[in-house]
Amino acid sequence: MKRVFIHTFGCQMNVNDTMRMSEALGSMAYTPTPTADNADLIILNTCSIREKAEDKMLSALGRYRQVKLQRGALIGVGGCVAQQEKNRILERVPYVDFVFGPDAIAKLPEIIQRVDADRVRVVETAWVDSERYVFPSADPNTSRGKATEFITVMKGCDNVCSFCVVPHTRGREVSRPFTEVLKEAASLTTVGVREVTLVGQNVNSYLGGISFAQLLLRTAQVPGIERVRFTTSHPHDLSDELIEAFRVEPKIMGHFHLPVQSGSNEVLKRMRRTYTVAEYLERLEKLRAARPDIAVTTDIIVGFPGETDADFEQTFELTEQVRYAGQFSFVYSPRPKTGAAMKEAEWGSVPHEVKIARLERLNTLQKRISVELNAASVGQTVEVLVEGSSKTDASRRFGRTSHNRTVNFDGDAPIGALALVHIEHASASALGGKQVSVESLPAIVIPEAVVAPEVCVA
């Protein structure tokens, strides 16, 4: 039996792709190993969304070179950097054996056989036409032991946000037929999964036979599914129908990740986001009318080319006004072939120290708001889907609320159970408390010892 180590960088799409790679390699009798040191095959599943992610990938490659020298391990680079930078990788890193794009995962066994048999370097980064693209179906057994799982519902992105590399690395949008999504949800319930998150770069423009709102509602009706989530959404596709789904279906969890990117209309225009701040707020207001307690999170980029102090102040004020439950804020980094990278000289770069100062101010503000919102839960009893033991204290349990808040608590609720937890304390990132009661699990009791294959997420 040979061993494979897959180092995953980046987003949930990549984590999912890693699972599909493991499954494809299982058919070649490769078993996953949690460390590169004893691997016969090392794959880096890369991310190019920001410069930092790419730098991390290059430094990891440097470390794995040693394993190649000592054990003769094969090294492959997959994912977004591979798709966009195949030639540069092959030139700069002579010990990389093969490079493959996100559309070539199903071909992995064939690629490795070619590298092994012919001792040649293989490059496989062709796009598969939308009509011919087949979404790899997940093997439910890899999800045994989990209460919650991700289902890919679409790939690619047809938007042209000027900062974003995704359309260049993941190609055009392709939606997965809704029947396949529902089948996958049903098969996950047979191994004990009770919550699914539907994922894609831009799920609201889903076109898999029914609307995205319908897909959420139908997924919520799958017997055994208690909770449905999704990510990621573009504000201009947030339809009234989707908002209505939040009003009528309590199994759709009360959390919406709605990246705003900036609070300045001028910056949004240069970002090619196709909405104004007022339009964004109008959508949010409607959403909150449908589900008053909904927790909204967002992504923000600071230091976009041409962003003035006044532009940034508007982002700061928007954060204060919306009172996001949380936000991922990033310093802008130019990405190859994107509109903003090509226009940066014309629009004007923001100095690095200014970007960092803005990021720190925004993070401090967000932390204050998150602390305040989480503190409001103290004294309440909340429903938590138990995912396992707490990462910080193994004697405690860990799960998430409908609002996607992390809860660590004293109790004995098994994985997959819905527990009621009395909240006693709160920080910016988590709630803590004591189990009040737990439902008796009707169908499947998931054995604690069974875990999904090891995935190393950077």
Tokens of 419: 């527990």
**Which of 166, 331 has the CB closer to ligand SF4?**
166
Residues 115-174 that bind ligand 5AD (CB under 6 A): 163-164
182 binding partner (options ligand SF4, ligand 5AD, none; Cβ < 5 to 8 Å by kind): none
Residue 268: beta bridge partners?
A: none
- Provide the 3-class DSSP secondary structure of residue 143: helix
In total, the chain counts a number of residues equal to 458
**Which of 141, 265 has the CB closer to ligand SF4?**
265
> Residue 312: which residues within 8 A CB-CB, separation 6 or more?
264, 302, 358
Question: Counting contacts by CB under 6 A, is residue 301 touching ligand 5AD?
Answer: yes
Residues 13, 333: Cα–Cα separation, whole Å: 21
Question: By CB under 6 A, which span of 66-74, 327-335, 373-381, 435-443 interacts with ligand 5AD?
Answer: 327-335
* Contact residues for ligand SF4, defined by CB under 6 A: 157, 159, 161, 164, 166-167, 201-202, 234
Closest residue to ligand 5AD using C-beta atoms: 299
Neighbours of 359 (CB within 10 A): 19
Shortest distance, CB of residue 308 to ligand 5AD, whole angstroms? 18
Residue in the block written with tokens 């999504």: 181
50 binding partner (options ligand SF4, ligand 5AD, none; Cβ < 5 to 8 Å by kind): ligand 5AD
Give the containing element (helix H, strand E) for 383: strand 381-389
The conformation of residue 77, written as its DSSP 8-state character, comes to E
Shortest distance, CB of residue 86 to ligand SF4, whole angstroms? 21
**Which of 176, 234 has the CB closer to ligand 5AD?**
234
Neighbours of 172 (CB within 10 A): 13
Among 178, 230, 256, 330, interactor with ligand 5AD by CB under 6 A: 330
The conformation of residue 131, written as its DSSP 8-state character, comes to G
167 binding partner (options ligand 5AD, ligand SF4, none; Cβ < 5 to 8 Å by kind): ligand SF4
Size of the site for ligand 5AD (CB under 6 A): 12
Residues 91, 274: Cα–Cα separation, whole Å: 38
Give the containing element (helix H, strand E) for 60: helix 51-71
**Which of 236, 367 has the CB closer to ligand SF4?**
236
202 binding partner (options ligand SF4, ligand 5AD, none; Cβ < 5 to 8 Å by kind): ligand SF4
The beta-strand segments (E) located in 242-316 are 255-257, 295-302
Question: Counting contacts by CB under 6 A, is residue 332 touching ligand 5AD?
Answer: yes
**Which of 84, 202 has the CB closer to ligand SF4?**
202
Residues 15-54 that bind ligand 5AD (CB under 6 A): 49-50
Shortest distance, CB of residue 201 to ligand 5AD, whole angstroms? 9
Instruction: Find the farthest-apart pair of alpha carbons in the chain and give their distance in angstroms, rounded.
Output: 66
> Residue 231: which residues within 8 A CB-CB, separation 6 or more?
12, 197, 198, 199, 203, 257
Residue in the block written with tokens 């090392």: 42
Q: Which residues bind ligand 5AD (CB under 6 A)?
A: 49-50, 163-164, 259, 261, 299, 301, 330, 332-333, 335
